[in-house]
Amino acid sequence: MLREIGVTNVEELFADIPPKVRLKHGLKLPPPMSELDAKRHVKSLLSKNKPFTEMPMFLGGGVWPHYIPAHVRSLVQRSEFLTSYTPYQAEVSQGMLQALFEYQSLVAELVGLDVANSSMYDWATAVGEAALMCARVTGRKKFLVPKLMSPERLSVLKNYTSGPALEIVEIGYDGVTGQLRMDELGGKLGEDIAGVYIENPSYLGFLETQVQEIAEKTRGAGALFVVGVNPISLGLLKPPGDYGADIAVGEGQPLGNPVNFGGPTLGIFACRNEQKLVRQLPGRLVGMTTTLDGNTRGYTMTLQTREQHIRRERATSNICSNEALCAVAAAIYLTSMGPSGLREVAETCASNAAYAMKKLQKVKGLKVPIFDSPHFNEFTLKCVKPELGIETFNDRLLELGVHGGTPVQGEFPELGETAVLCTTELHTKEDIDKLVEAAAKAVEGKK
Amino acid sequence: MKYRQARWTADGSLEPLVFELGGKGRRCTFSCGKQLSETNIPEGFLRASINLPELSEPEVVRHYTHLSQMNFGVDSGFYPLGSCTMKYNPKISEELADLETATNIHPYQSEETVQGALELMYNLERSLAEIAGVSRVCLHPAAGAHGELLGMLIVRAHFKSKGEERTEVIVPDSAHGTNFTSAAMAGFNVVVVPSDSRGRVDIAALGGAVSKKTAALMLTNPNTLGLFEDGILEIAKIVHKAGGLLYYDGANLNGIMGKARPGDMGFDIVHFNLHKTFSTPHGGGGPGAGPVGVCKDLERFLPVPMVEYSKKNKRYYLDYNKPVSIGKIKSFYGNFGVLVKAYTYILMMGAEGLEAATDAAVVNANYIMRKLEEVSGFEFKYPGPCKHETVASAEPLKTEKGITARDVAKSLLDYGQHAPTYYFPPIVPEALMIEPTETESKEELDRFVDALKRISEEAHSKPEKLRSAPTGTAIGRLDEVKAAREPILSWRMYRDIKDKVVQNRGASAENET
């Protein structure tokens, strides 16, 4: 091949790299491993992790462990899906395009809106993109968020909106119920507000109960209403579209994707079918069309004039690679569960949480939950004994073979020594009983 | 060789949508078992119904198997999609990333229960830093464009900390579209510099473009023409002298990996595309991973947390204690599943393997370039040697026969080979951007060149065949204008439109009677 290229050695092909920056002695990396050695090495490294299948854990907060039916995993791993690039060539990529169209359709049904894009990176970046979209649609520059929103998502939101200098304004909560302060919302809503964002269920697990009123107030001020969801909850709960959301965002990981130490994740992004919204959507969209002769139904990426490769600095978002395969997993999952399966999973999650709360409430020295509101599958647990910190409490649980919830006292000091716990259908009665038993010992300082 | 893709049909149409399949009450076999308690959710918060399809498990499996068979991946055949580095993805990486010790760990687990994950990330960071010649690497970004945005936010934080107001980011006219958007999203104005007659950044124009307003230059090297920016040292000098930073778009790292490092060339910020250079599969659009490396001066702005090692405690930990960090650009710590695959790949390649991959990728691209130079109808606007990819122009075919780059690309599909990227970069008319990668054999490259030769001949003898290609794929060319003009983006919208059609028909029928 070198001869046909017309060079005598490979180095000639790199002669245009200035000698000053040519690596003289190669990269300093460990010597190459055989497949077998690499397998041994990575397996042994990962074996230092303790998966939640080996110990009851009560962690959620943005990614949630759920059962993934075996066929979902096996289908999504099919190499025609796995090893394809973005479906630029529609004729040879109908499978991926149709799967993504189905994902968009299923998510639209789930959140009760008309249109979903084919994915964002995660819930947090979807919130960031939603705020930017609200600003584009309304021409306004302030975005209201609940004070109790996920701190990670808030940080991402602030970074995403720092370019066009949107102002992120927090709205306080009722000390007893955790609910959004309607008086404060009313006071802050005005002609400068681009959008209002809530999380339902909230980061701390309770439901926002005044959603209808929030929607009305928001609409009244000419702002857009954005709702963040855990999609599993929508097997049971009223969807955002039913109570007036213009945009729904969320984390699609629990729909058939593993927790994976927090990634890959799947950003859900959906909106109502209104031209002013759809034309401002970020991210890829797959649309239904026909062949040029009009005879056969088919699918293609569409409305691409919104996107970076055509619109450049005026595009609605810079997103290019997204989380397509996670979206396919979500489509297969939702199709497999159907309405009754999804409802059953959602009910079991909530039922397990209700059971855990009921039992934990009987443990002296704990307040569970801290807010008097209905909860879905996450709830707060507060150590009320003055000398017992939540970190110590969690350490003791761990010694007793149970992993407690995520401490939130760092981000919300006013909530005290508090953690958020999560239950899903993966938790058995034994798991929860073990948690309660360990909690009672941990409060007493026993091992 | 004539290619026939699977074409699953029912009732004269392609595979039905899931909403058109199944029957009432069907679902997969999974069930949760008995519930422990009543939920505490009041009736008023519950939804009445949810319109999801109802399919049995075998129906689901057949449907998505059919769809997969109507899709083309690297495992199906040659995939020379320029700037996308569609190399073979080793199966061992999938197997390891799918271990329960990787998939079933939660990001909020206590550090002592995830030491393996942290160590893997720590090691991967060190390897990537060595490969790019940077000081530290943030593994959080989920994709290349996400890395670009992070890079631009770091640029902003840098100048803010220095009290300088710099508002412009310079981007060459050959750059990826994401560069323009990422800079704009971070609040910068984009200034475009032209390419010179050799397909490189016009250095005189760059000299004129920089000023006290210049925050950064975003540069892909090798650039999107597959050419190494041989004036890189001069470029770095100009940008740095003006007080700006140099940003490296890592989409084309496969052309120089192991030969030269962006950090040594003067780049201050570098993003990687693990789903390109480091062989993690692209999944039909993602997930990817777009880690960002920076020079020493910029480390302090990187997102939290970074993975550190405590010699005292002999353990890895997540360090959130970074007072001037920009915060977060994604929840948690990055696409960990993708990181496991890239880590496995680097382990197996080692330094020599990575350099050998670059050699083979560059030889393959130059081989295609040389062979195609002899095929009439195609030309190269800029002389080689190229690096890992090359951009052919089908302008002669278009001028002489009215056959466009798109026609060529669509015709290639009928040879069982994926099309190159076309109409990009925009500075080449009728561009076909070809990136063969190192994992293709000479025979495969010859088949590709032969296919283009046949297409070139048919441009004379059977131009209509090319204009109506492809015919061996699951479907023929689609009406993209209709798709954009009357968007149908979900089953809901489809149903609404169908209902309207039925109503209209009903209405007109009434009018007639």
- pLDDT classification of B508: cutoffs 50, 70, 90: low
The answer to whether the Cβ–Cβ distance between B492 and A105 falls below 8 Å is yes
- Residue-wise pLDDT for B256-310, tens only, equals 999 999 999 999 999 999 999 999 999 999 999 999 999 999 999 999 999 999 9
The answer to whether the Cβ–Cβ distance between A46 and B99 falls below 8 Å is yes
The strand order across the sheet containing A193-199 reads A115-116, A267-271, A247-251, A224-229, A193-199, A142-146, A167-171
- Residue-wise pLDDT for A376-406, tens only, equals 999 999 999 988 999 999 999 999 999 999 9
Cα of B208 vs its chain's centroid, Å: 32
Contacts of residue B504, defined as CB under 8 A and 6 or more positions apart, other chains included, come to none
Distance set, CA B235 to CA A14, A393, B77, B249 (Å): 19, 57, 39, 15
Same domain, B189 and B264: yes
Same domain, B453 and B485: no
Same domain, A400 and A313: no
Same domain, A207 and A347: no
Q: Is the dihedral of CA B120, B122, B127, B131 positive or negative?
A: positive
Q: Say if CB A29 and CB B357 are below 8 A apart.
A: no
Give the number of other Cβ atoms within 10 Å of residue B98's Cβ. 16
Domain contains B432:
yes
Residues in B closer than 8 angstroms to A362, CB to CB, are: none
Give chain A's mean pLDDT. Answer: 96
- pLDDT classification of B513: cutoffs 50, 70, 90: very low
Domain contains B126:
yes
CB nearest to A6's CB, from B259, B370, B490: B370
Among B13, B19, B20, B36, the residue to mutate for chain A (most A Cβ within 10 A): B36
H or E stretch including A197?
A: strand A193-199
CB nearest to A39's CB, from B29, B92, B143: B92
Same domain, B135 and B206: yes
Q: Using the 3D structure, point to which of A290, A306, A334 is the last residue of a domain.
A: A334
User: What are residue A311's phi and psi, to 5 degrees?
Assistant: -90, -10
Domain contains A383:
yes
The answer to whether the Cβ–Cβ distance between A27 and B258 falls below 8 Å is yes
Q: Using the 3D structure, point to which of A285, A306, A334 is the last residue of a domain.
A: A334
Domain span including residue B434? 361-468
ipTM rounded to 2 decimals: 0.97
Closest CA to A409 of A432, A384, A434, A436: A384
Same domain, B368 and B310: no
Q: Using the 3D structure, point to which of B349, B377, B410 is the last residue of a domain.
A: B349
Per-residue burial over B473-508, b = 16 or more CB atoms within 10 Å of its CB, e = otherwise? bbbbbbbbebbbeebbbbbbbbeeeeeeeeeeeeee
- Residue-wise pLDDT for B33-47, tens only, equals 888 888 889 999 999
User: What are residue A144's phi and psi, to 5 degrees?
Assistant: -95, 135
- Residue-wise pLDDT for A88-130, tens only, equals 999 999 999 999 999 999 999 999 999 999 999 999 999 999 9
Residues in B closer than 8 angstroms to A258, CB to CB, are: 103-104, 337
Q: How far is it, in rounded angstroms, from Cα B388 to Cα B200?
A: 16
Check if B426 contacts A (Cβ < 8 Å): no
The answer to whether the Cβ–Cβ distance between A339 and B50 falls below 8 Å is yes
CATH at B386: 3.90.1150.10
Give the number of other Cβ atoms within 10 Å of residue B229's Cβ. 24
Domain count, chain A: 2
Same domain, B407 and B496: no
Among B46, B68, B446, the residue to mutate for chain A (most A Cβ within 10 A): B68
Domain contains B183:
yes
Check if B346 contacts A (Cβ < 8 Å): yes
Among B7, B72, B158, the residue to mutate for chain A (most A Cβ within 10 A): B72
What is the pLDDT, as a whole number, of residue A446? 64
- Residue-wise pLDDT for B122-135, tens only, equals 999 999 999 999 99
Domain span including residue A281? 70-334
- With the CA atoms of A94, A98, A104 and A110 taken in that order, what torsion angle do they form, in degrees rounded to the nearest 10? -160
Same domain, A195 and A82: yes
- Residue-wise pLDDT for A336-351, tens only, equals 999 999 999 999 999 9
What is the pLDDT, as a whole number, of residue B506? 62
Nearest chain A residue to B413, by CA: A92
Residues in A closer than 8 angstroms to B166, CB to CB, are: none
Q: Using the 3D structure, point to which of A313, A334, A355 is the last residue of a domain.
A: A334
The answer to whether the Cβ–Cβ distance between A121 and B29 falls below 8 Å is no
The answer to whether the Cβ–Cβ distance between B474 and A95 falls below 8 Å is yes
- Residue-wise pLDDT for B153-189, tens only, equals 999 999 999 999 999 999 999 999 999 999 999 999 9
Domain contains B324:
yes
How far does the CA of residue B64 sit from the closest CA of chain A (Å)? 7
Domain contains B128:
yes
Q: How far is it, in rounded angstroms, from Cα B199 to Cα B195?
A: 5
Domain count, chain B: 4
Q: Using the 3D structure, point to which of B319, B349, B379 is the last residue of a domain.
A: B349
Cα of B490 vs its chain's centroid, Å: 25
Domain contains A429:
yes
Interface size, chain A vs chain B, as Cβ–Cβ contacts under 8 Å: 696
Contacts of residue A314, defined as CB under 8 A and 6 or more positions apart, other chains included, come to B184
Residues in A closer than 8 angstroms to B29, CB to CB, are: 69
Nearest chain A residue to B366, by CA: A5
Q: Using the 3D structure, point to which of B290, B314, B349 is the last residue of a domain.
A: B349
Same domain, A386 and A322: no
Same domain, A434 and A326: no
Same domain, B223 and B186: yes
**Secondary-structure percent of chain B, ordered helix, strand, coil, rounded to 5:** 45, 10, 45
Residues in B closer than 8 angstroms to A287, CB to CB, are: 483-484, 487-489
Same domain, B175 and B286: yes
Same domain, A300 and A438: no
B507 pLDDT exceeds 70?
no
Domain contains A50:
no
Tokens for B365, please give them.
């691209």
What is the pLDDT, as a whole number, of residue A335? 97
Tokens for B177, please give them.
């579209």
Same domain, A342 and A430: yes
- pLDDT classification of A238: cutoffs 50, 70, 90: very high
CB nearest to B143's CB, from A82, A121, A207: A121
Domain contains A30:
no
- Residue-wise pLDDT for B319-369, tens only, equals 999 999 999 999 999 999 999 999 999 999 999 999 999 999 999 999 999
Residues in B closer than 8 angstroms to A47, CB to CB, are: 101, 116
- Residue-wise pLDDT for A298-307, tens only, equals 999 999 888 7
- pLDDT classification of A172: cutoffs 50, 70, 90: very high
Same domain, B308 and B183: yes
Same domain, A317 and A425: no
Domain contains A54:
no
Domain contains B108:
yes
Domain contains B82:
no
Same domain, B333 and B374: no
Residue at A208: amino acid letter: E
Percent of chain B with pLDDT over 70: 98
Domain contains B38:
no
CB nearest to A287's CB, from B49, B264, B483: B483
Among B57, B71, B362, B464, the residue to mutate for chain A (most A Cβ within 10 A): B71
Give chain B's mean pLDDT. Answer: 95
Tokens for B57, please give them.
């498990």
CATH at B260: 3.40.640.10
Residue at A297: amino acid letter: R
Same domain, A346 and A213: no
The answer to whether the Cβ–Cβ distance between B286 and A325 falls below 8 Å is yes
Q: How far is it, in rounded angstroms, from Cα B121 to Cα B100?
A: 17
Q: How far is it, in rounded angstroms, from Cα B457 to Cα B377?
A: 9
Same domain, B487 and B460: no
Nearest chain A residue to B114, by CA: A49
User: What are residue B265's phi and psi, to 5 degrees?
Assistant: -85, -5
Can you tell me the mean pLDDT for B430-438? 98
B62 pLDDT exceeds 60?
yes
Domain contains A268:
yes
CATH at A346: 3.90.1150.10
Check if B25 contacts A (Cβ < 8 Å): yes
Same domain, A305 and A372: no
Nearest chain A residue to B350, by CA: A32
Same domain, B199 and B298: yes
